[in-house]
A = this chain, B = another copy of it.
């Protein structure tokens, strides 16, 4: 693995810059092949860099302003050029870094990334990914909120981009792709979903299409890539988070309900530690806006240092992969079939 430079928005996130720097430190202890361009307010960052002994791995780039977590994307775009987020993306655009990471305002990050990096040829709309823990390991779900809707062509594009992404992130040779619907039968579902299914079933777009999957199939790991529109995907992702939190609460109550239960929980401590690790959202933190000329990883805004380190690892893995070429060649294949015409910009 050759050395990689990543661009970091040090000011983005609910607990920035502290958590960002702690995450960097965690990551740097584990990996020595990555260096960083750290974008943000020097006054705030310099003491943290020295505290965490990161000076040899980080170059500090000063930006006076920060995109607030509540800023509207449109206003962030207008007034954003002096912010750490803009600087982070610009470094990726200029080729100074192979990928970028921010835990900041999602809407602003998507809008700025699209404006600075532009869409790949053949992409109608970029899509946001999430990594979803399943019975068999992990799956990629997209779109989880970059768009409100998706027509059939866009769903096919999401499938092609998500499949290339799964190959890069999981190392799976032939990831399977499922299309989220509310029934397994051919005649069920919205028109866009039915048309997308027909295209993927009948045209050779070079992916392993498994047909429709339902909400309960996602966690069961029936496909490596789950394709849906951004509204549905966002609701599904957050619903799963809420359900996991509810069940975790039930487990805690069950194991503290009596002295005997508490004693049992103490004995089972090592198993329960594994459980906590599995349910820890930090371990799957990091989404990517697929379809841009550059890799930007979005970390959850409220994540902890471990979660930010996970997002950095994802960026480093993508920087080391051929994912951009894979996505681009997949999109070319689809556009040559005449399904998804080149987008006009």
Contact = CB atoms under 8 A, between A and B. Distances in A.
User: Which of A72, A245, A247, A251 counts the most B-chain CB atoms under 10 A from its CB?
Assistant: A247
A278 interface: yes
A158 to B, nearest CB: 16
A169 to B, nearest CB: 20
A180 interface: yes
B242 A239 contact: no
A250 B238 contact: no
A140 to B, nearest CB: 15
A150 to B, nearest CB: 12
A240 interface: yes
Contacts of A135: 246, 249
A182 B231 contact: yes
Contact of A238 (B216, B228, B230): B216
Interface stretch (A29-37, A56-64, A117-125, A217-225): A217-225
A115 B35 CA distance: 67
Nearest to A228: B235
A199 interface: no
User: Which of A135, A190, A215, A269 counts the most B-chain CB atoms under 10 A from its CB?
Assistant: A215
Contacts of A231: 182, 189-190, 232
A337 interface: no
A278 B250 contact: yes
Contacts of A214: 234-235, 238
B251 A251 contact: yes
A260 interface: yes
A255 interface: yes
A264 interface: yes
A274 interface: yes
Interface of A: 72, 133-135, 145, 148-149, 180, 182, 187, 189-190, 214-220, 228, 230-232, 234-251, 253-258, 260-272, 274-275, 278-279
23 contacts: A148-B190, A182-B234, A182-B235, A189-B231, A214-B235, A215-B235, A215-B242, A218-B242, A220-B245, A235-B236, A236-B236, A239-B239, A239-B243, A250-B278, A251-B251, A253-B271, A254-B271, A254-B275, A257-B270, A257-B274, A260-B270, A261-B270, A268-B268
